[in-house]
Amino acid sequence: MTSHRRPKQPNRTRVTVLTTAAAAAVALSANAADATPRQRLGKDEVEAKVAKLYEQAEQATEKYNGANEKQQKLQKEISAVQDSVARGQQELNTLRDALGALATTQYRSGGIDPSVQLLLSSDPDHFLARASTLDQLGSRQADALRKIQGRQRQLAQERAEATEKLKALATTRTELGNRKREVQGKLAEAQKLLNTLTAKERSALAAEQRRADRSSAERVGIGRQTPASGRAAAAFSAARSQIGKPYVRGATGPSSYDCSGLTSWAYAQADVSIPRTSEAQSGIGTRLTRSQLQVGDLVFFFNDLHHVGLYAGNGQILHAPRTGTVVRYESMDTIGGPFMFGVRV
């Protein structure tokens, strides 16, 4: 006889226990895999990765500098427009006060002339559009009305200009914040890598850096070749006086510099104003090949021109390299990126 009894269902508690056990087994397996020691990067690998991060940080720094310069320019322009608006409003108020005084005088004399009522209208453009109205005005009153009309239009344009500049300023400030976070992120990532080194490896890296700085300071013969010009000589001399000062993002001296901060400061000491960023500096003066370079010429590196220094002669440049370094001499062949061209200011 065939049995019609339902098969016995597994105990719910037992299923839960089995499921939990299986999950625990998977977790233990995953943890065991994670526990496998990862191969630690060697000193040379860390150094290469850190150098790349510092290069990316410098790229972001130059973009930060550009946004900062744009912000300062916009702030000056907005201030100028707002001052002009304030002066224009004061002038407009004076013109209206004069018309108001005329209306008061006429009122006391028995009533306000229709032409004066027109002058006090909040919408003089509407009435000026009616040529017949001008015939009712005296020349003095017509001139006053035209002045009010012109000042109102000018103020409207200036206010619109100020509004647009304020929008651009807000956008630029957002970009500035993004660039700053990008730089900080790259530097933090580089520091994290450096922290994986042993104390002995970190000491060796620091010693290499000190040797590079000391070697730079000992190159006393550099810069004695013929300078590009008197102002190039003055700029180079100023930059040379800053050897040993630290690289700091966004700094323009006199206690610290970034790459374009050093070059713009140096030329300022020669009474020559050049743009703030490396990209903008690359667009001034006369462009040069490597064989045409003379002491004091600007030299640009990397495809996006994010690094700049001053040519020092004998294939050397004087520059502020990157975070963790100081203003120093260095061979053009060890910058880490290709030489693009020079510029004679």
**Domain range list for the chain:** 43-194, 222-344
Answer for the pair 116, 99: CB distance below 8 angstroms, yes or no. yes
3-state SS of 55-66? HHHHHHHHHHHH
Q: For the chain, give the mean pLDDT.
A: 78
Q: From edge to edge, which strands make up the β-sheet containing 286-288?
A: 286-288, 339-344, 298-301, 307-313, 316-319, 328-331
3-state SS of 122-164? CCHHHHHCCHHHHCCCCHHHHHHHHHHHHHHHHHHHHHHHHHH
222-344 has which CATH code? 3.90.1720.10
Q: Which of 46-50, 255-259, 270-274 has the lowest mean pLDDT?
A: 46-50
pLDDT for 23: 43
* Cα(198)–Cα(180) distance, integer angstroms: 30
Whether the bond into 254 is cis, omega within 30 of 0 = yes
pLDDT for 264: 97
Q: How confident is the model at residue 36 (pLDDT cuts 50, 70, 90)?
A: very low
Choose the catalytic residue: 4, 126, 259, 306: 259
* Closest listed residue to residue 297, CA positions, set 341, 328, 244, 257: 341
Give Cβ neighbours of residue 214 (< 8 Å, ≥ 6 apart): none
Residue percentage of the chain with pLDDT more than 70 = 71
**pLDDT tops 70 at residue 131:** no
Q: Does the active-site annotation cover 319?
A: yes
The phi and psi torsions of 322 (rounded to 5 degrees) equal -170, 175
Q: Which of 68-72, 256-260, 303-307 has the lowest mean pLDDT?
A: 68-72
**pLDDT tops 80 at residue 222:** no
- Mean per-residue pLDDT, 119-142: 52
For 43-194, give the CATH class: mainly alpha
**pLDDT tops 60 at residue 130:** no
Distance of CA 343 to the CA centre of its chain: 22
Answer for the pair 299, 314: CB distance below 8 angstroms, yes or no. no
Its pTM stands at 0.60
Q: Does the active-site annotation cover 307?
A: yes
**Strand bridging mode 298-301 / 316-319:** unpaired
pLDDT for 31: 47
